Structure 1
């Protein structure tokens, strides 16, 4: 009885001191804080809730019957109810032992539609707005939705798009809501200017950044879409470019984009300070960690005295030393570069200090911002996990790996203090980007086997957000058909093993007197050895079916040649194992300017099937920028291979050279050929046992053509030979088996098109044999590797 009296006294004190009312989101505080803290109600009464149940209202209250409450609880209750979006007004008061909650309900949205949109489909815009059918009509949410739609249009280069709303009352508190979009015109970039640059021209710097001037292809490439995030990325790209070319003092003073509303075009301006260009001075390694030999670590230095200063060389040296030190059992060791500028000599001396860093452990790794990519896809790029020793170099290496995946438009890794002094929280912020593409390629080859060739492909580098790669392609020409399917799982069984398969089918009717149908599959697994070196193992299965008569009459005298007995019949089966070592330091897969790509492959056939041979092949290509400001890039490529047959060597087992190996000649246009014993006409290639190729090329921006268009020119010289024969044709039925060199010179136009890199080559053979098949023009998809 006494407890009940105390309760009533507390409630009376509240009621007498103030009538508690909360209206429109503002809270009238209690006069007596002490009384408020002592207030307890027996029940809760909800008024004004028709469509929303009273239980839903009560569930969003911080006040419960029988428990004391305060002003803070009332504030929290009001905020919770407004946050539901169902109410336009909320009032809370106390009457006796009852908490009275009076609400005015928002209208209910019956249907949400979007009108006027043509450039962005309904489903994409519905995905960025929060207003939903059968949800509340909330002005704050609708304003946010309008801005979200405007942002979506700005992302495709339509910054002047406007969004309005219309409502259509249906009665009983229900409305239809329509977002009306005026898409406007594309917002273009008319100029990209640089101020303060002297070492490099505006054209060279424009090729470094992501933002491009508008041109006739911008509606496809979208490279002229302006955004603040893109501008920040451009600043970083400029810094990395200058830092890697000796300008250690470079800085971006400012970057701005000014919109001319009359023309709806941006003018982008970067103001920079280049500073002095440096070479590396003396380079040394100092270690304060007992047991670590500084002289041993010096062999890992990439930054050599006298070379142009490159921040990448410093970073690579830090990474190499850090890995070596960690492998020796010093997980907390820290590598810190110290630079000493000599302005008079234009050098930077670098000392790499290896010391025992602070003992810290990774408490957890937080992944933020990924809307599509799974968390584990990001986590597996880190060589450390929760509970491991914190190492900044390992974190930096993981960041570079994430950026190299191509899944994200931005990657940022930061640290935060953990729950204890020796604990660190890693925070990984990423932003997903599109990783799928649909490609259409076209080519034309002259010569006997020429004609138009088309290919269509669908490619996804981050399938279902799992980091898996899948590609489906189909193509062909007048005399050929090609179909293929490829799939790669980059972390097979949880290890850094890229396992996958390729399935293919090829139909070829281009040869004179035989047709070839082949189909098969490849199983492969690739393992990294170092950051630049990897190894690949494959199992290859191919089924080949030759039609040797190719439609010739049964009494045609050419069918009496012993050569045709070699290829007709079948089907034949080739079953082999192969092993490849790949060394890759290429700086850019699209337009390499520096680095080496090299491969050595050995293949053994004889695991069942009809082929028995051992092959070894190799190729290497070196890229180097010859003139930095003029953007002239040189490359040298070499290749070669030899096979040893163990049994009855088949025509399809021997090497043939493609039209890209020695330009100016058709695919299978050089090397040993079948000699007809009777009749006239061309001779079919039978391949050879040995080949060598060499190529030199220089590419450059086309004069009078904007660099942003993606067009470049090139001049080249190729040479090569294919010789030797193990196919038993019976009698003297093969010619061209000698080691005779072929050579050509030519020029190219290369276009980095939205559909992939395309290339037009014109080559003139300057050394050939009379039976070679020449092809001066070649147009098709460009390949570098």
Structure 2
């Protein structure tokens, strides 16, 4: 046999031997598997029956309560598994520190160690967040069972509260102090740590607006010199998310429709005590409105007629807010015309070549859905009618989703609620909807203590009480008391914003003031009573009707000249001799303001015109006319604000005594560079030369505000101004044989610079001025400082 044949025979033999062995193994495996699959004789489960249950260690919790919690009754047959379930129930009840269950013959012994009750909860080491605020974030309460797991959760909740306040390194440790009768004091030891401030707030990708301008938009602020007082310079993640949205809104309202916030990077400093926050933005191009058209898909509505109600014009910088305003304007006009269920759909066509957006307002028929009812919940103080007044729709009116969204914004703007959610759901049929209003009340009253200082009135204090939602009716009540070294004022004001459920505001003012200014040689006091009615007459215009009753008196001061003679002039002495006089007048005031609602967010106009007609009773008869025009514009990417103001007044007397306190006197806020009453006709026969005021005045002001290049966190800006004004005319004035200087008047010219400082205690303003044209008898005031705050 060859070597190859021998090898083949050996291999075949080995294969045969392994095959037989495999068959034997397979047979054995099948035998074992079959044995396991055969039903085994059922073992009897261990059963326990207890005639007696003994419970040890419980002091507060009764035996029956423990048995009920365990699910075991005396004399009941239970298995070992059921005993284990009873153990788990007691152990997980949160009432016991330890539990043991031991069968002893016919007796079941349950031994428990009760968790202690919380005697009181206290906080140690907290200075930034008060105890009341911390108690609101924890679930553990006094006189309840102490739960270690819950105490740990509460410690984490407190640490999270500090983290939201910018103190990311805050640590909280819960500790217990044992007391008698199985009670403990729960103490949260707080290590607050330092604020993790935003050391630098920067932007990447911005070309049109500087970092300084964009930082003013954000709610988050960069840490500055007043970091101990400013709380918005800490890093809070939720606030950063809000800042991303307001940043987008800022760009969208200025025509940058492609603007994106790509990312926000927040990096800790090496010392882990500050953040570098950077916004990566993509501005895109600025778009303007292109062709504006109105198309009607309704047979009874002419689109050309409705195009006259569209205010936005081609060439204006595009803004979604302007589009929304025109849609609301068209829908309101449809309601006036009796066209129900009309909807306005804006169709925007993009023209990348000329960077314009064509807007087509399509008038179409919306679904026939009606408002079934309006349900208001959560208003524990505010009356339902106050909330309902914010809706233009009532039960039974056609449903307009846009109007509901605007109503929700008006409810939030009231300032009465922490949260206000307005949602619509299907009513009793598919053709009806129910509007749900869910609000959460917040305090609306405030008591303020404040201080002020100005070079004209001196140092003063102010106390005021304000209630924005008086007895839940949406009414406003104000009481104030302010005292300065040269002036005192006490006031009461009441406002009903919706008289008889209409868009008419009723106001009532009662004021009493005393002035003993160092800029005059006499004192005066004034009592005024004024009810008003104010209502809108156009989108930006409002009209106020008013009645005014005033009682004014000029009194002599005790001051004397060096030789002991009275230093009042003969003209002022005539005012003093006139005693107390009463004027009774009716009047109106029309105001038109586009600074916030105009087509250009960087420009606006304010116009105000008022007249008062005295002579309805009282001691005086005159017509008082005042007009004011203000134009404002932001330039250089909104870094510089330009403002121009023109105002004037005329007083035409028809009868009664014409006194200095009744005529116009220019204050330093109207014409800078002079004392209050520092220009105009003056008593030429007096030692001090009191200002006599005038029946006519005109003032013009040009001013600019701009950054000084200082770090923005300092809050310091600069300004320059040029003022020109004149005060003249003493017609119908009894001079009592005296002489008046400057009765014919002349224009004064003033130039100056301003420093504006936004301090945490209030806005501080410095004015340094120089009168480049004046009269010899004028009284200059080259430096003026004003600070006002509330605390």
The answer to whether the superposition gives a TM-score over 0.5 is yes
**Residue of 530, 534, 555 corresponding to 1:522:** 530
Shift, 1:340, TM fit? 0.6
For the pair 1:245 / 2:251, whether they are aligned, the reply is no
Distance 2:90 2:588 in 1: 66
Distance 1:501 1:59 in 2: 67
Cα deviation, 1:238-265, whole Å, max 9, x if unaligned, reads 1121112221111222234344483322
- Distance of aligned partners of 1:243 and 1:531 in 2 relative to their CA distance in 1, 3 Å threshold: same
Shift, 1:202, TM fit? 1.8
Shift, 1:684, TM fit? 1.3
Shift, 1:84, TM fit? 11
Checking the alignment, whether the CA contact within 8 Å between 1:213 and 1:708 is kept in structure 2 is yes
Indicate the residue corresponding to 1:722 in structure 2: 727
**Residue of 689, 692, 707 corresponding to 2:712:** 707
What runs of 5+ residues in structure 2 fail to find an aligned partner?
1-43, 49-54, 71-88, 101-109
Indicate the residue corresponding to 2:85 in structure 1: none
Which segment drifts farther, 186-195 or 564-573? 564-573
Checking the alignment, whether the CA contact within 8 Å between 1:280 and 1:308 is kept in structure 2 is yes
For the pair 1:182 / 2:191, whether they are aligned, the reply is yes
**Residue of 479, 488, 504 corresponding to 2:495:** 488
- Distance of aligned partners of 1:688 and 1:125 in 2 relative to their CA distance in 1, 3 Å threshold: same
For the pair 1:217 / 2:226, whether they are aligned, the reply is yes
Shift, 1:407, TM fit? 5.9
Shift, 1:488, TM fit? 3.5
Indicate the residue corresponding to 2:647 in structure 1: 639
For the pair 1:764 / 2:773, whether they are aligned, the reply is no
Indicate the residue corresponding to 1:136 in structure 2: 145
**Residue of 329, 332, 349 corresponding to 2:338:** 329
- Distance of aligned partners of 1:265 and 1:574 in 2 relative to their CA distance in 1, 3 Å threshold: same
Checking the alignment, whether the CA contact within 8 Å between 2:724 and 2:748 is kept in structure 1 is yes
Cα deviation, 1:510-560, whole Å, max 9, x if unaligned, reads 244311122344333433344532233334343323213544489836568
Alignment of 1:372-771 (within 5 A): 378-402=387-411, 404-405=413-414, 415-418=424-427, 420-426=429-435, 438=448, 440-445=450-455, 450=456, 452-458=458-464, 460=466, 462=468, 466=472, 468-492=475-499, 494-510=501-517, 511-548=519-556, 550-552=558-560, 556=565, 561=570, 563-568=572-577, 570-587=579-596, 593-628=602-637, 631-651=639-659, 652-676=661-685, 681-703=687-709, 705-725=710-730, 726-731=732-737, 733-771=739-777
Shift, 1:189, TM fit? 0.7
- Distance of aligned partners of 1:396 and 1:716 in 2 relative to their CA distance in 1, 3 Å threshold: farther
- Distance of aligned partners of 1:512 and 1:348 in 2 relative to their CA distance in 1, 3 Å threshold: closer
Distance 2:68 2:327 in 1: 57
Query: Normalising by the residue count of structure 1, what TM-score does the alignment of the two structures yield?
Result: 0.80
Query: Normalising by the residue count of structure 2, what TM-score does the alignment of the two structures yield?
Result: 0.79
Distance 1:172 1:440 in 2: 51
Distance 1:259 1:429 in 2: 40
Indicate the residue corresponding to 1:304 in structure 2: 313
Indicate the residue corresponding to 2:783 in structure 1: 777
Which segment drifts farther, 160-169 or 522-531? 522-531
- Distance of aligned partners of 1:90 and 1:574 in 2 relative to their CA distance in 1, 3 Å threshold: farther
- Distance of aligned partners of 1:598 and 1:472 in 2 relative to their CA distance in 1, 3 Å threshold: same
Checking the alignment, whether the CA contact within 8 Å between 2:571 and 2:738 is kept in structure 1 is no
Shift, 1:580, TM fit? 2.0
- Distance of aligned partners of 1:157 and 1:501 in 2 relative to their CA distance in 1, 3 Å threshold: farther
Cα deviation, 1:599-657, whole Å, max 9, x if unaligned, reads 2222233344333222121212121112115x111111121221222211332221111
- Distance of aligned partners of 1:419 and 1:210 in 2 relative to their CA distance in 1, 3 Å threshold: farther
Shift, 1:212, TM fit? 0.7
- Distance of aligned partners of 1:328 and 1:603 in 2 relative to their CA distance in 1, 3 Å threshold: same
Which segment drifts farther, 619-628 or 378-387? 378-387
Larger Rg: 2
For the pair 1:348 / 2:354, whether they are aligned, the reply is no
Cα deviation, 1:427-448, whole Å, max 9, x if unaligned, reads 6677888875846443332xxx
Distance 2:291 2:635 in 1: 26
For the pair 1:111 / 2:120, whether they are aligned, the reply is yes
Distance 1:437 1:275 in 2: 48
